[in-house]
Structures are given as structure tokens and as C-alpha cells.
Amino acid sequence: MRLSRRFNQPGQAGQTGQVNAIARERSRLVAAGAKLTDLTDSNPTHCGLGSPAALEAVARAARRSGRYEPDPKGPLEAREALAERFGGGPDDYWLTASTSEAYSWVFAVLADPGEAVATPAPGYPLIEPLAALAGLTTLECRWHYLEPDGWCLDPVALARAAESGARAFVLVNPGNPTGAYVSPATARTVVEACQAAGAALIADEVFGPFHLEAPPTSLAGRDDVVTFAFSGLSKLLCAPQLKLAWIRLSGPARDLAPTRDALDQVADTFLSPALPVALALPELLAMSDAVVSATRARLAANLAAVRQAFGCDPYRLRRCEGGWSAILDLPPDWGRDPAGSPPHGRAAEPAVRLMREHGLAAHPGWFYDIVDRPALVLSLLPEPLQFEQNCARLHAALTQLGDGPLVPYRGTDLLS
């Protein structure tokens, strides 16, 4: 028996039996009894966020779920609540079990196997494997970081993707982990690229409400290009376990009818969301304001703490407009291999040594396609006192590592 070619393609995320060397090292240390402090945990249910009342609401709705009359788009009362809160009409929304599922439905609607979608890099690491599972390739549209302005989209990469026939342009607004919102000017440029390529816009806005150092923007509801905007309870209610997300469709009237039909067909094939959580959605949305404000207060406190700990040379905390992560730049020559290793090797070195020598688990920037400078990506979700202590430990550990001899890891050591 052989598996689908979606798996085991060199360089693809869907490789079976392959774990990257940092994850392998982490498992090895944990198996050997090491107690690692996780600086990467962005699961809100581990961090005391979310609302116990949400689970009660779903339990109450479960009692109303005995009779099932499937509606492929999700129950009308749920879609009415979405329209009332976010705009559009109830027929513009489709419920899915997750945003990941929303990607796969929309990819199925927009592109044939072998075609390409344009994806931001850095943007959100799961998009590429999701595209690969749909039989699609990705065209990377790089975002560059410029201090102090922040992240900006490479217009040449965008134009190339349009010329190469991208069927959709994905924007993650704000990006994960960049936290960068899409400015109105960038949105206009991407819409023009969509129009030139006859492509659609996919706007992943799960982190939209969590703005920190800049006001939020939204691409949902645009009428100048077919736009699929995603959001869901995993972030809005800090409740990934409830498994409910949604797609909002908008765009020029002439394109909408066939797109609706196609999306209806996919939805009807899966009938995916569970009825109790869908019926509870009006109540859950009403609870989300309190969850978002508590989460934003925590993110802001932790961002201030990490700025305080790492606000000056040789470190740099990148501008963080929103989202749940901070990007901490390390000294540019950290772990640099004099023989010239790929960027992976450079940035992985501190992450491995932090784990081995200091019991601190942090993601290197290259996990997320941040390859311009060695960096660590830290979750801003933990409880603030704990977070502040972790920042102090990280600072002390990095100082110690920086003072010692740099023992470079070659990319091949880490990635083989």
C-alpha cells in the first residue's frame, strides 16, 4: 500500500515520521525527567483564560439539541447572531468546526489540485500544510520587518504571485506571530493583485479583536473582491475546545451567487459543526466581549513586562500591533556558523541551548519563517506574575549564553 503524494514530499510539512530537531530534543529532555518552563504555550485553556460560563451555555443548548434538522450553513439563529454582531446578513455566514476547516473548504471552492494560493511569510505556519492537504501549492509573499514601522508586504512577491496565477491571496490580520495588521494601503494593493489575477481574498481574522500597539483593521465585508473572512471561538472566546468558527463571504454581486452555491455544496457534504455549540452561539458571542477585554489586559501587561526586560541592546522587541505573541530579536550574530549555515541553524542554536542548559522552551523565529535575524517567539498568554518571572529567567539565561563561547549548530545537525 502507498500513501497519497500529499505526504513525504521533500520540504513539505506533511512528512510522516519526521519531527524537527528542536521538538525531538524537547521530547528527549522531557523523557529524561527535565522540567521545562514553556515560554511558547498559547493554549488559552492552559492559561486560566476563557469563560466557565461558556461551557454551561453549551450544556444548556445541548438539552435543546435532541432533534436535528441540518442546515449546511449552520442554524439560522447562530448566523443571525453573527450578522447582528459583525455585519452582513445571516446568509453571508457558514459555520465550520474550526478555522483550519474553513481554509480547507475555501481552498476546495477556489482551486483545482496543482493550482496555487499566495500566502504570507511570516503569516501563519499551518496555511501551507492545509494547502498541501487540498493538493495545492503555495506562493510565498514575504513580509519584511522595518524598525520602527513594523512589517510590510513585499510588493514584488505579490506581483509575482499574481502573474503566476494564484487562485487566492491569504492575509492573516493580524499575522501570527507578527501581530501586524493589514493597513488600508496594503489591503488596496492586495485587492488589486486579486483583481489582476481573477483571484479571491482570504482574510484570517481570528486575532482581529486583540489589538495592542495599533488600532485594528478588518477586511471582512469588502465588496471590491470576493472575500472570505474567517474568525472563530478558539480565539474570540479563548475556547479552542468548543470547535466553532465561521466564514463570512462578501464581494461583487456578480461573483457571489456561484460562490455561495459552491460553499453550500461543501458545507452540505460535511455538515460539520456540532449542534449544541452552534445553538449556544448567540449567548457565547455575548460573553466574548468580557473574554476579549480580560485577554487584552493580560496581553498588554505581558507585553509591557517583556519590553521592560528586553527593551534595550543587544535585544530588540519587535513592534507588536496585536495578537498573542511577542517576537524577541537576539543579537544578530548569535549562533552564526562561520562556515555559513542556513538561517535555520543560526537561530536554532539559542533555542536548543536554552532548553538544554536552562530548562526554558522557546520557539525560534525560523519556526515561523522569521529568518532575517535570530529571534525567539514568546507567548503573551501566561499569567502575568509567572510571565514576569519567566522573562527575568530568560534574560539571565541569554546573558549567560551570550557571555560564553558560541558553539554553533549547523543547520544539518538540527534538521536531519
Ligand X SMILES: Cc1ncc(COP(=O)(O)O)c(C=O)c1O
Kindly state the smallest distance separating residue 387's Cβ from ligand X, in Å: 19
By the rule CB under 6 A, 409 interacts with ligand X: no
Q: With the C-alpha atoms ordered 396, 402, 405, 408, is the resulting torsion angle positive or negative?
A: positive
- Cα separation, 390 vs 24, whole angstroms: 23
Kindly state the smallest distance separating residue 103's Cβ from ligand X, in Å: 8
Amino acid at 364: P
Upstream peptide bond of 374 is cis (omega within 30 degrees of 0): no
For residue 73, which of 82, 61, 65, 63 has the smallest C-alpha distance?
82
Stretch that binds ligand X, among 23-31, 92-100, 303-311, 361-369 (CB under 6 A): 92-100
Interface map 274-313 toward ligand X (x if CB under 6 A): ----------------------------------------
Q: In residues, how long is the chain?
A: 416
Of the residues 8, 12, 100, 137, which one makes contact with ligand X according to CB under 6 A: 100
Stretch that binds ligand X, among 94-102, 161-169, 209-217, 304-312 (CB under 6 A): 94-102
Stretch that binds ligand X, among 95-103, 150-158, 265-273, 333-341 (CB under 6 A): 95-103
Amino acid at 219: L
- Cα separation, 113 vs 346, whole angstroms: 35
By the rule CB under 6 A, 40 interacts with ligand X: no
Of the residues 61, 75, 81, 98, which one makes contact with ligand X according to CB under 6 A: 98
Return the residues of window 208-237 that contact ligand X according to CB under 6 A: 232, 234
Which residue is listed with cell 498568554?
Answer: 381
By the rule CB under 6 A, 245 interacts with ligand X: yes
Q: What are phi and psi of 47, to 5 degrees?
A: -115, 20
Stretch that binds ligand X, among 53-61, 96-104, 136-144, 345-353 (CB under 6 A): 96-104
Helices then strands (H, E): number in the chain?
A: 13, 14
12, 14, 18, 20: CA torsion to nearest 10: 60
- Per-residue b/e over 48-72, b at no fewer than 16 CB within 10 Å? ebbbeebeebbeebeeebeeeeeeb
Q: Tell me the sheet residues that pair with 98.
A: none
Of the residues 37, 40, 99, 138, which one makes contact with ligand X according to CB under 6 A: 99
Of the residues 206, 238, 326, 391, which one makes contact with ligand X according to CB under 6 A: 206
Of the residues 44, 50, 208, 240, which one makes contact with ligand X according to CB under 6 A: 240
By the rule CB under 6 A, 176 interacts with ligand X: yes
- Cα separation, 89 vs 83, whole angstroms: 5
Stretch that binds ligand X, among 73-81, 97-105, 369-377, 407-415 (CB under 6 A): 97-105
Q: How many residues bind ligand X (CB under 6 A)?
A: 12
Q: Which residues bind ligand X (CB under 6 A)?
A: 98-100, 124, 172, 176, 204, 206, 232, 234, 240, 245
